[in-house]
C-alpha cells in the first residue's frame, strides 16, 4: 500500500546534527514532490522544506534555511532531511509528506506517522 515511514529521530544536544529519512513505497516516488513538516509540542503544523520530483530544486522556510537540507535518492525511494546547528526550539515531531504534484505544492495526500526529535542538553 501507499506508505511513508520516517526514521532517524532521537535526542540530540543543542548545536548537534541529525539526519532524518523517509522511506516511500506503493507509488512512483520519482514522480512526486516531497515535503518535510513539523509540529512542536502544543503548536501547529509548520512547513519546513519542499523538493521537486527530480531533486533539482529545493525550497525552505526561513526558520530552517541554511541549517536544514532536504534531499532525495530516487533510486532508493527515500527522502532525507539533514539537520545541523539544532536548537531547543527545533524539538518537534517531523513528518514527511507526498505532494500531489511533481514541482508545485498542490496539497499533500500521503503523510508519514512522524518521528520525534528532541533537542536538549
Q: Does 59 bind another protein (CB under 8 A)?
A: yes
Distance between CA atoms of residues 115 and 6, nearest Å: 6
Cβ-based neighbours of 66, under 8 Å, separated by 6 or more? none
- Residue 62 interacting with another protein (CB under 8 A): yes
Q: By C-beta, is 12 or 97 nearer to another protein? A: 97
- CA angle 83/58/117 to nearest 5° reads 25
Q: Is 114 in the site for another protein (CB under 8 A)?
A: yes
Residue of 112, 115, 117, 119 that binds another protein (CB under 8 A) = 112
Among 18, 35, 64, 68, binds another protein (CB under 8 A): 35
Regarding 89 and contact with another protein (CB under 8 A), the answer is no
Burial 79-97 (b: 16+ CB within 10 A, else e): bbbebeebeeebbbbbbbb
Region near another protein per CB under 8 A, out of 7-15, 71-79, 83-91, 95-103: 95-103
Contact 84, 67 (CB under 8 A): yes
Between CA 14 and CA 16 the distance in angstroms is 5
106 binds another protein (CB under 8 A): yes
Q: Which residues bind another protein (CB under 8 A)?
A: 35, 37, 44-47, 50, 59-62, 95, 97, 100, 104-109, 111-114
Amino acid at each position: 500500500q501507499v506508505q511513508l515511514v520516517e526514521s532517524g529521530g532521537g535526542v540530540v544536544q543543542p548545536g548537534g546534527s541529525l539526519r532524518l529519512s523517509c522511506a516511500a513505497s506503493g507509488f512512483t516516488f520519482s514522480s512526486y514532490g516531497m515535503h518535510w513538516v513539523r509540529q512542536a509540542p502544543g503548536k501547529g503544523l509548520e512547513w519546513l522544506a519542499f523538493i521537486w520530483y527530480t531533486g533539482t530544486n529545493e525550497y525552505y522556510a526561513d526558520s530552517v534555511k541554511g541549517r536544514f537540507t532536504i534531499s532525495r535518492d530516487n533510486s532508493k525511494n527515500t527522502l532525507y532531511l539533514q539537520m545541523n546547528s539544532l536548537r531547543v526550539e527545533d524539538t518537534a515531531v517531523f513528518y514527511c509528506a507526498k505532494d500531489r504534484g511533481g514541482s508545485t505544492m498542490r496539497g499533500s495526500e500521503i503523510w508519514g506517522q512522524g518521528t520525534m526529535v528532541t533537542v536538549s542538553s
